[in-house]
Amino acid sequence: MKIDTKLSHIGRSTAQSMQSVSPPLVRTSTVVFPNLKVFKDSYSETVFESPRYGRSGTQTSFELQSAMAELEEAETCIATSCGLSAITAVLSSNSKSGAHVLINSGVYGPTEKFCTTELKKNGVECEFFDHNASVKSLIRPNTSIIFIEVPASITMELFDIREICEEAHKHNVPVACDSSWGTPIFFKPHSLGVDISIHAATKYINGHSDAMLGLITGSYKSLEPIREWCNNYGSHVSPDSCWLALRGLRTLSIRMQHHQRSTLKIVKKLQTLPQMLKIFYPPLSSGKQLELWETQFTGSAGPFTVELCSCSEIEFTEFIDSLKLFSLGTSWGGFESLVMPAIPHHLRNKAVMPDEGRLVRFHIGLEDPEDLFEDIHNALTQSGILS
């Protein structure tokens, strides 16, 4: 089946017994078994995909996990409470005291903070590398995992995923990838060699900005230590969030196509404004970055970053506050458009940018792109940045 057909039909096996097109929401804390053999069998499985206890999942979470595994072309999937919990589970289960972890620079802020605080406390050395670095020269005998996020947050650099995976696998080092931006619609990480793919399903997969959820896909072997870690540390998800994500999956493809069309229209118009010094968006890149974009992705999502021309703090504040259709918030991936002042992660201890430019991240939602561009244009004018 093509992916659009899959989105309508996968994750619906429990719906049949209810004579419904959608699977039921199953909430429970206690799972009961018909006999002792079935009870014992449930605990003999290292990787479990059937009810054992409420914390380990209900039919609702298993429906979502099987659906996501199929979309990602992977063997299995683990659902967690949010995107960050999925990231921390992957990193924690694949590192121990004395380990060396490689992470791309410009990664999602909370990911970086977890590495530099919690993993560091546990005796794990985290090394950050940029998109021009040779991973081959960075891998050590004690390197336990390589973590990449594509594109990188805020400045949106891309990485040569195939090359990273090839080098990592020569040393039996697993590669994990935060794949939230592209979604399974525009990005297939496992086909590029990625062992563990992570999605902040809070964003596009749910799509309605009303649930927190993380999803991890990969082979049984790759996810076995992660699933064990989640079980030991109680890192699990509410069936309600899984049910909402199953609802969101049905329209994922058409939403992503709309996000892409609108965003491309808006960034092309923004390019004509001299007040936009630079737009960070993979389809607008050049050279090696453009090549990576064209070979690793089949489409583009809604978040992008712009660097504004020199402006005062008053003008910058007025610009943000004058936007009517863009809500001020730190997330993205929902139906609504968002704006957020952005500072590169290595500079986030500073109140403002150290140079004259100012970075702003936009997420283009499902509104009409003409209205959204007009809103940005009006805010630039009202603030005095655009005269």
Active-site residue numbers? Answer: 55, 108, 178, 203
For 307, the enclosing helix (H) or strand (E) is strand 303-308
Can you read off the two tokens belonging to residue 362?
Answer: 């936009």
Residue with tokens 């020569």: 170
Q: Write down the H helix ranges in the chain.
A: 3-9, 36-44, 59-71, 83-93, 109-114, 120-121, 135-138, 161-170, 183-186, 220-233, 239-249, 252-270, 287-296, 313-322, 369-383
Q: Are 150 and 123 in contact (CB under 8 A)?
A: no
CA gap 42, 244 in Å, rounded:
27
Can you read off the two tokens belonging to residue 298?
Answer: 């089949």
CA neighbours closer than 13 Å in the CB half-sphere of residue 304 = 27
Q: Which string of b and e fits 332-342 if b means at least 16 CB within 10 Å?
A: bbbebbbbbbb
Please provide the size of the chain in residues. Answer: 387
